[in-house]
Copies of this chain bind each other. A is one copy, B any other.
């Protein structure tokens, strides 16, 4: 088993990318040490790991907070992600064998089936996973780690940011990228990757609370005992100092089509972030 600080860092990372801990949220050492029932020092080590990963920022004598990237940094992260995925695409177009293409197609197909069967949650997870699989096929662990870190940070961005346009015409991008690459149309594939990410960034609007704020105790509860993950029970939201609109249940990056606290008339299901690039 790994070190305890690593375990806690992993849990915190998971809670952040699950949008349970939103940007700006204070990560107090004492509070976390009581939640995890460890000493403050272990928590500090975990927070150092998170800060090195870009998911938290530590201000001297003030403490650690979930990172709150600026719009500038958001664009930089997406630029970097684009650069990495374009580079991987170029490598794969040369080196990838039939088995690799089959794996990509199979993954796309699984996502398509999930969408068809209305399992939005699974579709969302698969949509995220596609990029990871894509980079894994480069067989470069260093690159995988860099990419995974960037993906985590884009996921973080989605807590801070809300998309304001229709994503439907981006849903098939994965499939199209695979098609283009396998046909050797590298340039077009790279352009598509770029367009994909650029479109997403352009749709971003900052300074809006998308996910509700929870106290760390509430946010971390599902991860503590039973090692429950994906289908973790959602704790009821307590309006601590919620600054945003009251809407938006903090889910496990599972998009539920506009599930309001008062689920009366759900709005257009098209303004969703299903199948986002990250």
Q: Is the CB of B60 within 8 A of A142?
A: no
Q: Is the CB of B80 within 8 A of A83?
A: no
Q: Smallest CB–CB gap between A73 and chain B, Å?
A: 7
Q: Which of B3, B73, B88, B141 contacts A141 (CB 8 A)?
A: B73
Is A87 in contact with chain B by the CB < 8 A criterion?
yes
Q: List chain B residues, Cβ under 8 A from A76.
A: 140-143
Is A274 in contact with chain B by the CB < 8 A criterion?
no
The stretch that binds B, out of A23-31, A40-48, A125-133, A207-215, is: A40-48
Among A2, A5, A83, A90, chain B packs the most CB atoms within 10 A around the CB of A83
Contact of A146 with B80 at beta-carbon distance under 8 Å, contacts A48-B45, A49-B52 already known: yes
Is A91 in contact with chain B by the CB < 8 A criterion?
yes
Contact of A83 with B45 at beta-carbon distance under 8 Å, contacts A2-B60, A60-B2 already known: no
Integer count of this chain's copies in the complex: 2
Closest Cβ neighbor of A2 among chain B residues: B60
Q: Is the CB of B48 within 8 A of A83?
A: no
Closest Cβ neighbor of A81 among chain B residues: B142
Q: Is the CB of B140 within 8 A of A79?
A: yes
Q: Smallest CB–CB gap between A224 and chain B, Å?
A: 23
Q: Which of B1, B2, B41, B90 contacts A41 (CB 8 A)?
A: B41
Contact of A83 with B88 at beta-carbon distance under 8 Å, contacts A48-B5, A48-B45, A146-B146 already known: yes
A245 vs B88: C-alpha distance in the bound complex, in angstroms? 40
Is A86 in contact with chain B by the CB < 8 A criterion?
yes
Q: Smallest CB–CB gap between A106 and chain B, Å?
A: 25
Q: List chain B residues, Cβ under 8 A from A122.
A: none
Among A3, A44, A48, A150, chain B packs the most CB atoms within 10 A around the CB of A48
Q: Smallest CB–CB gap between A149 and chain B, Å?
A: 8
A76 vs B41: C-alpha distance in the bound complex, in angstroms? 34
